Structure 1
């Protein structure tokens, strides 16, 4: 396996890390023709079986030897940091003697700041810090992106095209990356948590597990699609289906009684705070 590219036709995008998010992005790039398989390379620390799977499924270039990996990293136009946070320090330090000034570093490592990445690299390279969510694996992701001042318009455009291949993108100042993590990074889990409860209640009321699941999934899908297609505020859509003294109003009163709004807002802010804590811990460890 592991074939090294010819010098004249090196992959433009190299994924340092080959987990599920890296695979999702690669799948999106190929499916939307944002990149061809031969323009993409992937490698990880030691899982050759995983690399074999990715190479056979997508036709991307992979590398299992350090020499081949270093060649890919040296010649890449874009290097995507997609390893686990605990491996980030060693990985980025490995890049220091390999990277060139014109290369773009794209990070999907939660909590790792742009100044820390640049400090570890020892160069003020252009860096894009991103926070995609798990819905990217089906092309319906929401990704926040912050750019360092070294990122040119061309590199911004290329970064956006990478993540637009797996969903929608929001460009934000780095200071807002934590709150975006609380809203969209962790957000799918809040929705799943509510769906679990809706399904459980349906089963308690006598629906079959299959019926409860299908009704809940379609309800959430329909509600999200209504918001997206109508452009209306969620409060207006909610009011439109809430008849005075009706069943929906009765249900909403119970949610209010349990301080539903405050709970969700607190969850978002706690996720943001925890993201900040994790980033500080990573930076302290790497210092």
Structure 2
């Protein structure tokens, strides 16, 4: 994904420096989004001066330890990643322990087989009525019950009620997905993790960002079909995806992955990684941070000059 972003920004003169550029570009974009929060934390908690844009976006250009909070069973650590990079497992919020499901939902769940969850969170849907119609029709064709999370996209407008469809507002995924046989969602990292932890075969309908990546990883692990980009969402593709998820071997792989993830604790893992890389004593001199933006200009100028 990052290489594709870099290609779009610097033209077709790849492959020179494409992977270095991709990390620097994305690193700078991420820093722009989180800079205010980091500086607020530095100011109030650490009593440190703010970090500028140019000196802050430097993570990809320095020997800085990183901890990635995803499951190594879903995305194994690449062999060329060094000792200062750790893949520690997903982090989960325990929201189910304080959740009291509404009585109508409990009765509906008890009235039949486990349903398929379909929802896209807060992401906007161009034609929610049409997408709802496709979802309901696909459930009907495949003989499945379904929970449609209305979300912010406006899903769930039905011409008439269907007894095999339950329209849902907000509900903790860590509770809800345990009640489901499979899930269809946008592919956010947290939603993907919650579905896999619940041993749910997963279909991802990516909208943007890292969502296509998670869709590809889910398919590569055999726990879901190929992702369905939202602009290609159709009745035929959703029916095929549901049928794929209902294959016994897919459920077996989902259970296998969920069991592997049980032993992971992303919070403890990232704390251990932090302490392991923490210097035992302060450096005698504090090196001045270099600007990854200025470093970025060098490869770009060279790359733009490629013939």
Give the alignment's TM-score, normalised by structure 2: 0.32
Which is richer in strand?
1
More relative contact order in 1 or in 2 (CA 8 Å, sep 6+)?
2
Give the alignment's TM-score, normalised by structure 1: 0.34
Which is richer in helix?
1
